[in-house]
Amino acid sequence: MSVQTEWWRTATIYQIYPKSFCDSGSKGTGDIQGIISKLGYLKLLGTDAIWLTPVYESPMVDNGYDISDYYAINPDFGTMADFDELLEKAHQNGIRIIMDIVVNHTSTAHKWFQSALGDKNSPYRDYYIWKDPVDGREPNNWASKFGGNAWELDEATNQYYLHLFAKEQADLNWENPQVREEVKHIIDFWAEKGVDGFRLDVINLISKQQDFTDDESGDGRRFYTDGPRVHEYLQEISEAVFQKYGSVTVGEMSSTTLEHCQQYSANDGKELSMVFNFHHLKVDYSNGEKWTKAPFDFIQLKQIFNKWQTGLNGKGWGALFWCNHDQPRVVSRLGDDQQYRVESAKMLAASVHMMQGTPYIYQGEEIGMTNPHYTDISQYRDVESTNMYDIMVNHDGVSKEDMLAILAQKSRDNSRTPMQWNTEEHAGFTQGQPWLEVARNYPEINAAHAVDDPDSVFYFYQKLIQLRKAIPVITSGEYIDLLPEHKQLFCYARRDEKQTLLCLNNYYSEEVEYSVPPTFSMEKAQCLLSNYDVAESGNTLSLRPYETRIYLIEEC
């Protein structure tokens, strides 16, 4: 298939975190029937495909990213018949389904791990990564991404297994060809059912450097990030399954580089369709440390987008996103979730949707949902957040108040609060008690209000989705940052032989003037979309608080 005609280059994908999306009953957790009941809403938005975070059988230590059976649906979410119904009804509505594949690790409750544990002769022992103790302790100093050392002792055999995430998530040994065969089999099973694509969890961590030495200068990530055989493995899986089924694939790339992503998502289609990278979401980390409370670095944000937009153009393909189930809500993070909530939610949407790539909308983002601003540790459920609270408060001497302020800004639970559907109790998410507290602002911020209001954030997203399909330069044009050093404005152009698009954004609450360079003939420009009424014309503009404007100039 030629590069231009692949459906996902003009598509917008909607991410569903099923546990928090819609409960069809009173369990307090969302389910597949709940998703089915909202397909009309997703169609109205213009969703081309749903990325469904894991719905497989799982002890739910990491909300489904700890899979215990890749071939079964978690009963909390429903049955395989429910899943088949979702697939069929989504397809009837013109919506594709992308499954989340988590194969860097399995749950320790998986039958492979259960067989491997305590038995060096198990046929599954070599599915995982085992090492002898060194000087009576862990084999090396690699850190788990959820805090503490990345090795856990199996007392019966006196060997440690590797877990880059929670200790209940054991890393698979991709060096073992049988593991790779299992992975192909899993993906084949879902593709055969008619699933349209796959999101591959932390897929750039699957190949570890085999000497497993201490990392003298870090936490070990340089020894397994974009590791020695990762491209080879991806090509093997792609050839065996993705190419066979024509699946769309998006790789989640942790701490990756542009050079690797050019190869992962290269136009030859030998590895993946596109990549997620997270560099633009670390601009509010202090010295690269997530667990800090820091303002965001606006200049750095623009530099990162510029690097990735120009670096992938013509070479690879990126996913465009602000939000997912691991990230705080963008309107609370980079916008203003009080006075200018609606304006800033729209501005942030426009500024990322007008770039090159495939945009992803995370449930609730399309109605401008905010962080819940929790104030007590008992309100949190996320394993990463509770682990870090324990480590930082009980071991590192951080005060409870400081840690709660950090969590309120950085915790993954900020995005996992139940979807706000309407003004009913618990925001219409469940008839029972929600597993995670609903944000208190649901009487004002909810999908029912958004759908009733033609000026809502929801319809702004709908329009952005439509623009991507109607205006070719959004997909194909080169990216030019017009104001890399400006402290308040983020203005860029997209350009091809026929069209120029301007995306002008004020990231702050003070009004500011901007003179569009004379090379852009503003008298020919058509304002396609804004979050304010736009009356002025000419090259000198005044951008109001969090204003965004999208202009199109057709070259004759």
469-489 burial, b at 16+ Cβ within 10 Å, e below that, comes to eebebbbbbebebbbeebebb
Q: Is the dihedral of CA 391, 392, 397, 401 positive or negative?
A: negative
- For the beta carbon of residue 2, count every other beta carbon within 10 angstroms: 6
Give 18's DSSP letter: G
Given the residues 201, 326, 336, 343, the one annotated as active site? 201
Cα separation values, 196 from 91, 199, 374, Å? 10, 11, 37
Q: What are the strands, taking DSSP E only, across 133-247? A: 151-154, 159-162, 169-171, 197-200
User: CA 52, CA 96: separation in Å to the nearest integer?
Assistant: 10
Tokens linked to 354: 């007008």
Identify the three-state secondary structure at position 256.
coil
Nearer to ligand TEU, 318 or 477 (CB): 318
Beta partners for residue 170, in sequence order: 106
Does 69 participate in catalysis according to the annotation?
A: no
Q: Find, among 337, 334, 185, 324, the residue nearest to 250 by Cα.
A: 324
Residue 323 CB, shortest distance to ligand TEU, in Å, is 12
Closest residue to bound ligand TEU by CB: 65
Residue 16 CB, shortest distance to ligand TEU, in Å, is 13
Nearer to ligand TEU, 202 or 403 (CB): 202
Residue 201 CB, shortest distance to ligand TEU, in Å, is 5
Q: Is the dihedral of CA 269, 271, 273, 278 positive or negative?
A: negative
Given the residues 100, 182, 252, 437, the one annotated as active site? 252
Nearer to ligand TEU, 334 or 502 (CB): 334
User: CA 234, CA 243: separation in Å to the nearest integer?
Assistant: 11
Does 252 participate in catalysis according to the annotation?
A: yes
Nearer to ligand TEU, 283 or 525 (CB): 283
Instruction: Tell me which residues touch ligand TEU (CB under 6 A).
Output: 62, 65, 102, 145, 165, 201-202, 252, 254, 290, 325-326, 384
Residue 325 CB, shortest distance to ligand TEU, in Å, is 6
Residue 17 CB, shortest distance to ligand TEU, in Å, is 9
Nearer to ligand TEU, 326 or 343 (CB): 326
Residue 490 CB, shortest distance to ligand TEU, in Å, is 24
Nearer to ligand TEU, 106 or 441 (CB): 106
Q: Which residues are catalytic?
A: 201, 252
